[in-house]
Structures are given as C-alpha cells and as structure tokens.
Structure 1
C-alpha cells in the first residue's frame, strides 16, 4: 500500500476513535521519506485525529438521550468523568492519551461541554503531540 496524506488522515482519524491505530508510526515513516512537507504531515495528522475525537464527542452528546455518564461504573470512565468535572475543558488537552483520551472526548460530549472549546483544546493537544512525533522523526531518521 502506498503512503499518502489521505492514508495518514484516515489512520489518524481511526486512532482517535476506539479503533486501534498507529498514526504516529505512519507519520514518522512518512516524515523519514521526505516526500511531503512537515507542515502538511502535521496538519493532516492533526486534522484527522481531532475530527476522530470530535466524532467521539458527538457520539457522547447523542448518548445522553439513552444513558447518563454517571450510569457507567467502569474505572476508566469514572476517572475521566471525575477529571472532567473537576477541571472542565482543560482535561481535553489530554485527549491524545491512549485509552483515557477516548473516554475524555466521549464524556465531554455527554456532559455537553462546549463544542468549540472542546474542538480547540482537543486540537491543540493533538497538534502538540504530533508536532513532537514529527520533530523526533525528522531528528532521528
């Protein structure tokens, strides 16, 4: 399969959902090939991953019609819910973290946190993460 910015976008999008993904590895591989500008790699990866997380936010928003966040008893969900209640939108800067990040985005939608604030903070966290991955890939490969 040939690498492209479209594949990077799809990989990043999928990685932001509950689907497993390796967008960081793909980003690093694409950066090491030098066929694309670092800015375009950073923007496509960040856009895909942010939209994937906002899909989780939207699903959480829709889920409030069926079930309240407090009804979930899982340790991960309760931890994410506690952080969101205590720190509000600022927790969404951690939306890039494995497993916890998916729950944060989903619960942010459930709690009906502001769409725009959520989008900005999720996007900023993802931009920083992918920026660091890109810098490391360029530096070492």
Structure 2
C-alpha cells in the first residue's frame, strides 16, 4: 500500500513547480510490484495530472498579483509565454509531459483561462502515454 502512495505522491509532486522525477520512483516500484502495472500506471497518470491542475490553478489565480514586486514572472516573459500558447492553442497541452517546459505550459494554461475539463483531458492523455513508455522500458530493462 505504501508503494502505491509513494507513486501517486511522487507523480503529483513532479508535476508541480518542484523539481522531482517520478519516472524513477515508478520504475523502482515496478521492480517490487510487477503484477500491479495497470494500477501503478493509473496512479502515476492521475497523480501527475492532478499536479498539473495545481499549476493551472496557480496560473489562474496568482495572475492577480502580477504587479507585486515579489511576483516571479516579469511582464515581458508573461507576454512571450502567452503569445506562444496562443500560437499553438490548447492542443499544446498534449506536450505537458515534457520535462522542460511542460510544467510552465500548464501554468500558462491557467493564466490563459483554459477551461478545466479540456485541460484535464489533454494533459492526462499526454502524461499517461509518457508513463506507458516508462513502464515499457522498465519492463524491458529492469524486470
């Protein structure tokens, strides 16, 4: 049971702005729980998607403070990110799994006020495919 909680929590944490790699945790737990592959895939995918929802929420509500001195994103950076998101649209959320820029993409989606249901669906698709690939390679090389 603890293994399942660890996979879920590490996946959720990895999707937030905290630097963390849940793929390593998933692969390690797979070596101990090889028969629970579907459950582990689901926990990692749902946890990582929920972590992205945290970023979406932060983007949606923290923008009210963009004129405060402590706000971490400068106006020019914000404008550039918004232009990039508008250029590719909500479909870019399929790339939210990417290790570089994926978390920022989910944050910008909140700023752009992307509706939550399409956000969740697109992010879940991308992240669940990533975890399928991780599981595939873990089964080939570790089990």
Whether the TM-score (by the shorter chain) exceeds 0.5 is: yes
Length-normalised TM-score, structure 2: 0.86
Q: Which residue of 2 aligns with 1:31?
A: 30
Q: Which residue of 2 aligns with 1:127?
A: 128
Is it true that 1:83 corresponds to 2:84 in the alignment? yes
Cα distance in 2 between the residues matched to 1:64 and 1:46: 27
Please state how far the C-alpha of 1:21 moved relative to its aligned partner.
1.1
Aligned residue for 1:20, secondary structure, equals coil
- State the superposition RMSD in angstroms: 2.1
Is it true that 1:48 corresponds to 2:47 in the alignment? yes
Cα distance in 1 between the residues matched to 2:127 and 2:140: 20
Is it true that 1:116 corresponds to 2:121 in the alignment? no
Q: Which residue of 2 aligns with 1:18?
A: 17
Q: Deviations over 1:2-59 (max 9, x none)?
A: 9611011110111001111121001111112235511001000011100001100011
Q: Which residue of 2 aligns with 1:73?
A: 76
Figure out how many residues of one structure are paired with residues of the other and give that number.
137
Shift of the 126–94 alpha-carbon distance from structure 1 to 2, 3 Å rule, reads same
Cα distance in 1 between the residues matched to 2:37 and 2:7: 13
Q: Tell me, which stretches of 5 or more residues in structure 2 are unaligned?
A: 68-72
Is it true that 1:101 corresponds to 2:102 in the alignment? yes
Q: Tell me, which stretches of 5 or more residues in structure 1 are unaligned?
A: none
Aligned residue for 1:73, secondary structure, equals helix
Contact 1:30/1:36, CA 8 A, preserved across alignment? no
Shift of the 6–93 alpha-carbon distance from structure 1 to 2, 3 Å rule, reads same
Divergent runs of 4+, >6 A: none
Length-normalised TM-score, structure 1: 0.87
